[in-house]
Amino acid sequence: MDAGLHGRDIGVRFLFDRLSRQVSPSVARIRRGVTEKWALRDVDFKIGRGEGVALIGPSGSGKTTLLRVLAGVIEPDEGAIGVSGRIGSLLSVDAGLMPVLTGKENTELLGVLAGLSRAGALEAVPGIEQRVKVGDAFNKPVASYSQGMRARLGFAVAEELEPGILLLDEVHEALDHEFRDFVEERAKALLDAGGIVVAAGHDHPLLHRLCERAILLRDGAVVGDGSFHDVRRAYLGPRDLSEG
């Protein structure tokens, strides 16, 4: 499986007005009192085949922003990203889901948006329905779903694309134990096949089980990159990860 990720001098800048509301660059040019915050700055990394990498760090450190850059959701303001392999991502529980549509309808829509043909998206529905395991709710609006049910649906659609690179944000912490075990099983199978898993979080045991390497972020900068054990210890100190 041909999979790889690398970034050089990655920088992402957000602009805010006086009320701390995010604004676009075009609005910033005509509005006074706009301030800027670099969510990422001078970030370098290289992730190769078969690597599971955890992004750890405090809230606001840039973990989610980096995942969104890797997924192509955000274009960096500085630097360059290189991606080899199809990406599947679960970056937020509600990512891409339309609340008024049913689980089935959302499955078809997400499949088409991800590059499947209409026929391919329809063909994928039965398998996704079986993996999601939400019963009759699959034919009900997603607005009625719990957080865990929405996460199940998003992951099942991402997996249907058979990605070589899997990106997981902290949404894995919203999954129940049964489905979390399924996510872990599929992620490990991807790693064994030479794929890549990048998972962001604080200290969830799933990160420890999937990732041998960790990147520590603080204030948008990489301040640690090495074995999961060593980087986590630098971040949190010694704590037991055997539970959960």
**Where is average pLDDT lowest: 96-105, 112-121, 190-199?**
112-121
Q: What's the count of helices (H) and strands (E) in the chain, helices before strands?
A: 8, 10
Mean pLDDT across 26-44: 84
pTM greater than 0.85 (yes/no): no
Buried b (16+ CB within 10 A) or exposed e, 160-184: bbebbbbbbbbbbbbbeeebbebbb
pLDDT value of position 131: 83
pLDDT for 118 equals 86
User: By the 8 A CB rule, do 160 and 152 touch?
Assistant: no
* Higher pLDDT, residue 132 or 92: 132
Does the pLDDT value for residue 79 go beyond 70?
yes
Q: Which domains does the chain have, with CATH numbers?
A: 4-236 (3.40.50.300)
Residue pair 179/190 in contact (Cβ under 8 Å)? The answer is no
Quickly count: other Cβ atoms within 10 Å of residue 151's Cβ.
Answer: 27
d(CA 123, CA 21): 42
Query: pLDDT: is 214 or 72 the higher one?
Result: 214
Q: What number is the average pLDDT over the span 170-183? A: 73
Q: What pLDDT score does 244 carry? A: 44
Burial label, 225 (beta-carbon count in 10 A; 0-12, 13-18, 19+)? middle
pLDDT of residue 148: 79
Work out the pLDDT band at 237, boundaries 50, 70, 90. Answer: confident
pLDDT score, position 240: 53
